[in-house]
Amino acid sequence: MVLVLALVSVAVLGACGDSTPSGAAEPGASITFTTQDGVTLSGRLFGEGEVGVVLAHMYPKDQSSWYEFARVLSREGYRTLTFDFRGYGTSTGTQQIDLIYRDIQAAAAALIARGSRDVFVIGASMGGTAALVAAVDEPLAGVVIVSAPMEFKGLDASKAVSASRCAKLFIAAEGDTAAQGIRTLFQLANDPKQIAMLPGAAHGTDLFKGKEGSRAQGLVLEFLAANSKP
């Protein structure tokens, strides 16, 4: 198993994301960390706790799409990290989607460097695909795959999904175009695994808002609690 070394630096509140009102301070604490291949990524750290959660954003959004749920997780006692993939938001590098799994590995290492003993990854859409690939070599406690495709712009989870041994929760909305992909990923995945199909057609982080938002959040919180070490 590979534990990617991350260079972590903590700073004061920084640049604004698209879900934060104009002129308002960014939530959480600003950090930067570096991937194994030398890309510096920008993140926001929420809360404290021995169990860490990495939130991986969907295409073409950035980390701000996760801020609302990051606050929920931090209130529940999880040390939570949002971040911009390479080439997105204020992170350096170019948008090499086939390599963003390395960004997740670096984010997990950043949480471990700050004292998290267990790390989960929750990935939306392409972030979910990348989480499955990252989980093959990273010692994760579990992954939550939300509205993720099997393959996206060169990022392919077809082999990774059956190679990962950590706990997995697959979530999608019945009316979303990603629904069939989630079912296929679930069928290919090794145990332990769970699947939840919700009403509606919301995609990615939108599942955690609106009509089914409370239910989606509850499913994730139950999964984290059930798979965290005592």
Whether pLDDT at 3 is above 80? no
pLDDT at 26: 81
Lowest-pLDDT range of 3-12, 61-70, 171-180, 188-197: 3-12
> Which domains does the chain show, CATH number per domain?
9-227 (3.40.50.1820)
pLDDT average, residue stretch 60-72: 98
Give the residue, 24 or 83, on which the prediction is more confident.
83
Q: Which are the contacts of 84, defined by CB distance < 8 A and separation ≥ 6?
A: 41, 42, 43, 57, 62, 63, 90, 91
pLDDT band at 24 (very low <50, low <70, confident <90, very high): low
